[in-house]
Amino acid sequence: MDQLPLYLAIIFLVIALWFAWLYYDLKKSMNEYARLARISPESLPTDIKKIENLSNAIASLKSSFDLRLSTMASENARLSTVFEQMIDGVIIADANGLIQFANPAAKKLFETSHAIGHSVTEVVRNHQLVEAWRRCQQTREIQSETVELPARRQFLQLVAIPDTHASGSLLLVQDLTRVRRLETVRRDFISNVSHELRTPLASLKALTETLQSGALADPDAGPRFLGRISTEVDALTQMAQELLDLSRIESGQVELMLAPLTPKSLITSAADRMKMQAERAGLKLSVNCEDDLPNIHADKSRLEQVLVNIIHNAVKFTKPGGEVNVEAVSGEDGIRFAVQDTGVGIPAESLSRIFERFYRVDKSRTGSGTGLGLSISKHIVEAHGGRIWAESDEGRGSVFYFVIPLLTT
């Protein structure tokens, strides 16, 4: 019995040692697990004895993290593709105005290759746009500003949006140049049409009023005024027809009836149509074309319309006694047609503009004409895959050229 405390002490010691061993072993496993988690989390064992529960829980946490990470990575990839392909510029700046992100469009619009880490002021380089960003930073409200950059002939719109998560801002930049240009073209077009309509309508009104107030009974003036009315109505009809043609061609509604065509037949039939008019104007109209030029692939009536337009101009702008020559030659990129006159010529600064709608060099000298003929001709030639241009020596004459590609079989 005396030995009992000793036995108890020994048993207690054994149990204590056993627990100490367990504690030591557990700690060793935990340390090993922590070490692996630090250096290679992907190879974490899932079935370590003693901490099996813990390792299983960590393993499932890890796989759910992995899943989230891969979802985030694919979303990130998708977002960066969107940002890269966007035609609008996107810039993210922090509270101090330092740029943290700029997509390629933003760099292109602000003509810079290094935006990240630079300030908004350095990159944007426009007082009004920078002010819009500052106002957004101060008020934490969306601000927008549109500016014209005359040096670059560009219109930019900037929308600055406060970043709700951080104290920076998001800048969206749009290039409005094309939209503005189209608006101007539309406005000019409407004002040109109204102007062109007003003149003949005013003279029609004046002529009818004169007839109403007695001229109708006058055997001399009556028919003269009626003749002028008829001329004005013809001019209006021609303009309506040309406008309709132009709008159809521009909107691609006109389908070309392409067929093999000999250049000679085309220029002879156009010249034949203009012969009388040239004679009446006291001009010599000649045709110069070899019989065996290769065929072109063209819509005969449309191309004839182009040639007639150009010959008609040559006749209109050449004084009596002058000459108009129509020719076709074979060139490298197709058949080159040319209409040469010995007329008044075109000033150098107008040469590039005569193909614009309603453009007339000197409205007073033209007399009749809408300024639409060459614009229509340009569209028709381009629809055939060709090109049209003019050369001129003011006071001595002009040459109008257009090239139509050869028929390729």
The residue (of 97 and 371) whose beta carbon lies closer to ligand ADP is 371
* Residue 193 structure tokens: 């049409």
Is 336 a binding residue for ligand ADP by CB under 6 A? The answer is no
Looking at residue 6, its amino acid is L
The 293-312 site mask, x for binding ligand ADP (CB under 6 A), equals ----------------x---
From the CB of 249, what's the least distance to ligand ADP, in Å? 14
Return the residue of 303, 398, 402, 404 that touches ligand ADP, per CB under 6 A: 398
The residue (of 196 and 299) whose beta carbon lies closer to ligand ADP is 196
* Residue 152 structure tokens: 């670059």
Kindly write down the DSSP assignment for every residue of 148-184, as one continuous string.
EEGGGTEEEEEEEEE-SSSSSEEEEEEE-HHHHHHHH
Return the residue of 326, 343, 386, 388 that touches ligand ADP, per CB under 6 A: 343
Is 261 a binding residue for ligand ADP by CB under 6 A? The answer is no
Is 374 a binding residue for ligand ADP by CB under 6 A? The answer is yes
From the CB of 358, what's the least distance to ligand ADP, in Å? 8
* Residue 375 structure tokens: 């614009």
Residue among 99, 114, 100, 103 at smallest CA distance from 80: 103
Is 370 a binding residue for ligand ADP by CB under 6 A? The answer is yes
For the chain, helix (H) and strand (E) counts, in that order, are 11, 12
Handedness of CA 367, 370, 371, 373 (dihedral sign): negative
Is 342 a binding residue for ligand ADP by CB under 6 A? The answer is no
From the CB of 246, what's the least distance to ligand ADP, in Å? 10
The residue (of 92 and 235) whose beta carbon lies closer to ligand ADP is 235
Stretch of 43-51, 84-92, 268-276, 357-365 lying at the interface with ligand ADP (CB under 6 A): 357-365
Report in angstroms the alpha-carbon separations of 286 from 50, 291, 343, 395: 108, 15, 15, 21
From the CB of 226, what's the least distance to ligand ADP, in Å? 25
From the CB of 402, what's the least distance to ligand ADP, in Å? 13
Q: How many CA atoms lie within 13 A of 31 on its CB side?
A: 6
Q: Which helix (H) or strand (E) holds 287?
A: strand 284-289
* Residue 178 structure tokens: 């094309």
Virtual CA dihedral for 370, 375, 381, 383, nearest 10 degrees?
-120
Return the residue of 130, 171, 303, 314 that touches ligand ADP, per CB under 6 A: 314
Stretch of 39-47, 48-56, 101-109, 341-349 lying at the interface with ligand ADP (CB under 6 A): 341-349
Is 354 a binding residue for ligand ADP by CB under 6 A? The answer is yes
From the CB of 357, what's the least distance to ligand ADP, in Å? 8
Return the residue of 246, 361, 388, 403 that touches ligand ADP, per CB under 6 A: 361
The residue (of 136 and 267) whose beta carbon lies closer to ligand ADP is 267
Return the residue of 89, 168, 322, 369 that touches ligand ADP, per CB under 6 A: 369
Residue 182, classified by CB atoms within 10 Å of its CB into exposed (0-12), middle (13-18) or buried (19+), is: exposed
* Residue 123 structure tokens: 């990159």
**Helices 300-316 and 263-280, packing angle to 10 deg:** 30
Residue with tokens 């406060």: 162
The residue (of 263 and 397) whose beta carbon lies closer to ligand ADP is 397
* Residue 2 structure tokens: 């005396």
d(CA 405, CA 360): 29
d(CA 214, CA 203): 17
d(CA 309, CA 303): 10
From the CB of 393, what's the least distance to ligand ADP, in Å? 11
Stretch of 1-9, 138-146, 162-170, 352-360 lying at the interface with ligand ADP (CB under 6 A): 352-360
From the CB of 373, what's the least distance to ligand ADP, in Å? 3
DSSP state of 304: H
Residues that bind ligand ADP (CB under 6 A): 309, 313-314, 317, 341, 343-344, 346, 354, 359-361, 366, 369-375, 398
